[in-house]
Structure 1
Amino acid sequence: MSRELLLLLLADVILVVHVLFVCFVVFGLVAVYLGYFLNWQWVRNLSFRLLHLLAIGIVVLQSWLGVICPLTIWEMALRKEAGAGTYAGSFIQHWLHQLLFYTAPDWVFILLYSAFGLLVLASWFLVRPRRHFR
């Protein structure tokens, strides 16, 4: 396996991890609210809820500070080193543009991340986590 191919493979692994992280954040919140209405007790698991809150908290903090996600930085560095094309900006901005052909200023994403973070925080009061669940 060539060095370039290995670098691209590592970049793809990081991309998959990044997609899984985004899915955890988005679908985790959907599961919490859906679980409330369907009486799924696992959505009240304290460890799951803490990890979910921490995940969106990191995203919100990075957006407020204007920091690009380290996963994006690592992926782009590997692709550049392999001689492949890269993109600028954040992971979400890039893929939203690719999927929806929509571009927005950074403040829009900061607002969206913050609003989503508030929804996750609100879920702590609406769907209270429990240390032990049945």
Structure 2
Amino acid sequence: MPANTAPVPHPPSTARTALLAAAADAVLILLFAAIGRDAHQRGEIITGVLATAWPFLAGAAVAWLALRLWRAPLALWPAGVAVWLGTVAVGMLLRALTGQVVVLPFVIVALLSLAVFLLGYRLLFAATRRFRARRRLG
């Protein structure tokens, strides 16, 4: 008997779900900045992390607002991909406009790291939903 591969529809988002997803995105962007600063042994922990993270946090906010991601904030597509690419694109643009370093290796690391962070928890959420839906169906 073939497995049901039909996608599980996304339930309507609640304000609580959207708020939690936005908070998770922000925390993961801050974690990205903290790990990066630690890897390069930079001082000024809190202000340094905020200085590194703010362009990316702004990018995520732009994506959330421009695309109204609160409608299905945990969906991998389009919400996850949009917040990931918006975070990196706007973040790098703001870094460049404010005289911060934007070099290809950093762009690549940011793309990969933020993909793991911002898409990863959405993938886990989708997999959990599918697993639970299949268990209910039998």
TM-score, normalised to structure 2's length?
A: 0.30
RCO (CA 8 Å, sep 6+): is it higher in 1 or 2?
A: 1
